[in-house]
Structures are given as C-alpha cells and as structure tokens.
Amino acid sequence: MSDFNFYPTDISLSDDHCLVIEWNDNASSRIPFKALRDNCPCAHCREAARNLQPAELLPVISAAEARPLMIQGMKPLGNYAYTIAFSDGHDTGIYKLELLRQLGDLSSET
C-alpha cells in the first residue's frame, strides 16, 4: 500500500503489556506485546513460521516464553517503520507503520 499516510502522534506502553499507538486520524491501536512478537516480520521469524510442522505445534513453553514478554526499546527507522527490542533478546524485526496499523485493527476486534 503506497498511499499509506497515517503516522503515530503518540506511542506508549500500557500496564497490561500492550503497545498503544495514537494515530494522526485520531484512531488508536492497542497491540499486545505477544501479538507484536508473534508477527515479527524479520526473515528469521518468517522462515521459522513457514517451517512449522503440525507435530511442532504442541504447547511447549520455554522458560523465556513463560516470563512476561516486555518491550525494552523501540526506535524509529526513517519515517516509515520502527525496530522493536523485546525482552527475549530479539530485536531484528522492522515494523512498518502499515503493519502496526494492521495489528492494531486485528486486536481491536476482541
């Protein structure tokens, strides 16, 4: 979508582990940290998601996953994306504004 022309006017982290984005059209997105992490757009995570076999979808939870996932840092990349550093050590995802907006729309339906 090349005509994407929304931009955040305010970004904050809520007490209940959500990234809260206020947009220039007065819309507001609340995206749980876990949803952000699960939708990490980096090549490594996309590859991992593609290679998942049904047998690997067992509810195995590692110690790192059992801890509440936090956002440790968020840096603008140009004027179109953010990089997000998660508490599990992962920080290579580049979250374009379009993606953040999409994730916010998804989670607002619940």
Footprint of Zn ion (CB under 5 A): 40, 42, 45, 93
Q: Environment class of residue 44 by beta-carbon count within 10 Å: exposed (0-12), middle (13-18) or buried (19+)?
A: exposed
Q: Which is nearer to Zn ion, 22 or 91 (CB)?
A: 91
Let me know: does 110 contact 38? Beta carbons within 8 Å.
no
Q: From CA 42, how far away is CA 61, in angstroms rounded?
A: 22
Q: Which is nearer to Zn ion, 37 or 101 (CB)?
A: 37
Beta bridge mates, 76: 82
Q: Which is nearer to Zn ion, 35 or 42 (CB)?
A: 42
Q: Closest separation between CB of residue 19 and Zn ion, Å?
A: 16
Q: Closest separation between CB of residue 9 and Zn ion, Å?
A: 27
- The Cβ-side half-sphere exposure at 75, using a 13 Å CA radius, reads 8
Q: Closest separation between CB of residue 42 and Zn ion, Å?
A: 3
